[in-house]
Amino acid sequence: MIVATAIIGEVGAFLIAGLVFYGLKLRYGWTVALFFLLGSIAWTTPLETLGISTGSYTYSAFANTLFPGYRGYFVWIGIVPLWIEMGWFIVSASSFMIFHDVFQKKSKTLVAVFAGLFAVDLDLMIDPIASSNKMWIWIGPSMSLMGIPLYNYVGWFLMIFLYDIIIWNTIIAFRQIRVLSAIERKLLRITETVTSASLGQTLRGFVFRMVIFEIFAIFVIKIASVVL
């Protein structure tokens, strides 16, 4: 029964991700939707891989339960089940569409804060249920809330908050990000809002910003995992 729950969860994540992708396509077009989806995979896989590699948690509770050689889920990117990246995509894309539509006149940084807090609120409901059903298992000792390490919620907030900022300032329109402006002026020639940026410029900016902010996020989350 538990194995069936895992299969339903994996398939369900792909189906919901497809619906969210379709909503993104309708709202922003194919280019934004594709950048958002592929970026979500690239954005979350390194952090997930690091968490598994350092023994913080595992997705292997169901390994070899369905048939010999079964890894616990069907589709993987390295040591991370792809449906996990789809879960990040569902939350980040949904919160992006909701809060940028509702708070159109608010500071976009504040909107990203709302998105991050919304993600934490969702995870407060999702994580205890999923982990109790062994869809993933937390291993490393730490301060916890409902059995979930507190640094996990720091990670959810940071990753959704930063990805929201990257998408808004790179994919929706190509804008300066103040903390990176000095480097970007030299490397990417970003000096102001460039709504008609070439695909190549957009891609370079997207990758550069994800790498810089990913390093920052991992650093902060690792500090939180030691302190909390």
Q: Is residue 213 part of a domain?
A: no
Q: Which of 63-67, 125-129, 209-213 has the lowest mean pLDDT?
A: 63-67
Query: Dihedral, CA atoms, 61, 142, 226, 120, nearest 10 degrees?
Result: 80
Res. 192 pLDDT band, cuts 50 70 90: low
Q: Which residues have a Cβ under 8 Å from the Cβ of 51 and sit 6 or more positions away?
A: 57
Phi, psi of 51 (to 5 degrees): -60, -40
Q: Is residue 91 part of a domain?
A: yes
Query: Dihedral, CA atoms, 194, 200, 202, 206, nearest 10 degrees?
Result: -150
* Half-sphere exposure for 99 (CA within 13 Å, toward CB): 25
Q: Which of 19-23, 180-184, 205-209 has the lowest mean pLDDT?
A: 180-184
Per-residue confidence (pLDDT) for residue 167, from 0 to 100? 97
Domain range for 126 is 2-167
Q: Is residue 153 part of a domain?
A: yes
How many domains does the structure of the chain reveal?
1
> Considering the entire predicted model, what is its pTM?
0.94
Q: Is residue 49 part of a domain?
A: yes
Q: Is residue 198 part of a domain?
A: no
Q: Is residue 228 part of a domain?
A: no
Q: Is residue 73 part of a domain?
A: yes
Q: Which of 73-87, 107-121, 185-199 has the lowest mean pLDDT?
A: 185-199
pLDDT for 193-225, tens place per residue? 555 678 888 898 899 999 999 999 999 999 999
Q: Which residues have a Cβ under 8 Å from the Cβ of 52 and sit 6 or more positions away?
A: 58, 59, 79, 80
Query: How would DSSP label each residue in 115-166?
Result: HHHHHHHHHHHHHHHHHHTTSSEE-S---EETTEEHHHHHHHHHHHHHHHHH
Q: Is residue 31 part of a domain?
A: yes
